[in-house]
Amino acid sequence: MNSSPTYRLRGDLHVHSHHTECSTHHAGEIRGDPVSCGPQSLFDMVEMTKNDIGMEYVAIVQHPTNPVSPHTIDARRAKELLENQQRMDDLQSEGKLKDFHVLIGVEMSIMPNGKLEVPDYILSQLDIVIIARHGGLNEKDPQVIMRDFRSSLESSRVHILSHPTRYVFPLTLDNWREVLTVAKKNNIAVEYNTSWQYDENFIDLIGEVGAMVSLGTDIHPDVDGETGKLTARQHSQLTLGVNRLFSRGIKPGNILNLMSYSDLRSWLAR
């Protein structure tokens, strides 16, 4: 087993606030009852990450629609997504964020034929775009799943493929090698989601293909707003995730969360 190199964990690239459209989904299950994702405002989410954890940046992403039944967003939801972006831009311009940085974006569900929930003119105005399969589709045909992966990974707006193995059970390692290869070709990072257990063979495959990796806690703040517990867990989970990636031979230069903010922004603008 390789020893872990010295590194600085600079940010969490997958966090949700109460502005997200969500369902009560947790590792291994997804139910269709939409609820608030917690009481935190965008500013509260930033403050708890900056002050309690000491990171440089965080990506706050929203589910555009309920992941149980994804669909193309309407004009109202499109307006909300852009308002979130503007709200954070205003906080930055007012000096309230100081030397902390916030990326505002979406976590879109992969729909049939790789269709995207959010139109291109909205995606082009967001900082970060994540895609993921969620349990609502309940697709079991490997050929259909692979088709949808291929199509969605061809979008030039997508930056990260989130929790790729979650809700996807029939794919083989050869299937995953193809998915990871397509992601690398299109400069899309593969997420190590700390709320999900990853098989070591899959992590080894990431290293073999040479894909970039992002880490995210995928935290949906609980309804009690226990932010201290959330942030302590957040930092611990990310640290464990980085060390596990190192132990399987993933290089520091292939992990987005170890980049400086300026380098990360350059990578996102690829």
- Specify if 37 maps to a domain: yes
Q: Please report which confidence band the pLDDT of residue 239 belongs to, taking 50, 70 and 90 as the band edges.
A: very high
Q: Using an 8 Å Cβ cutoff, are 114 and 154 in contact? A: yes
Longest dimension (CA), the chain: 51
- Specify if 5 maps to a domain: no
- Specify if 4 maps to a domain: no
Pairing of strands 128-132, 160-161: parallel
Please tell me the least confidently modeled range out of 21-25, 115-119, 192-196, 239-243.
21-25
Q: Please report which confidence band the pLDDT of residue 93 belongs to, taking 50, 70 and 90 as the band edges.
A: confident
CA 149/CA 66 separation, integer angstroms: 19
Q: What is the pTM of this model?
A: 0.84
Reported as a single tens digit per residue, the pLDDT across 155-181 is 999 999 999 988 777 899 999 999 999
- Specify if 192 maps to a domain: yes
The parent domain of residue 119 ranges over 11-268
- What's the average model confidence in pLDDT over 222-248? 73
Q: Using an 8 Å Cβ cutoff, are 213 and 188 in contact? A: no
CA 270/CA 255 separation, integer angstroms: 16
Checking if the pLDDT of 54 tops 90, the result is no
Checking if the pLDDT of 270 tops 90, the result is no
- What's the average model confidence in pLDDT over 244-267? 96
Q: Please report which confidence band the pLDDT of residue 234 belongs to, taking 50, 70 and 90 as the band edges.
A: confident
- Specify if 162 maps to a domain: yes
Q: How much is the pLDDT for 47?
A: 63
- Specify if 3 maps to a domain: no
Q: How many domains does the chain have?
A: 1
Q: How much is the pLDDT for 32?
A: 34
- What's the average model confidence in pLDDT over 190-196? 92
Q: How much is the pLDDT for 157?
A: 95
Q: Using an 8 Å Cβ cutoff, are 55 and 12 in contact? A: yes
- Specify if 183 maps to a domain: yes
Mean pLDDT over the full length of the chain = 81
- Looking up residue 163, the CATH number of its domain turns out to be 3.20.20.140
Single out the residue of 119, 99, 121 nearest to residue 50, CA to CA: 99
- Specify if 214 maps to a domain: yes
Q: Please report which confidence band the pLDDT of residue 265 belongs to, taking 50, 70 and 90 as the band edges.
A: very high
Q: Using an 8 Å Cβ cutoff, are 37 and 18 in contact? A: yes
CA 101/CA 41 separation, integer angstroms: 16
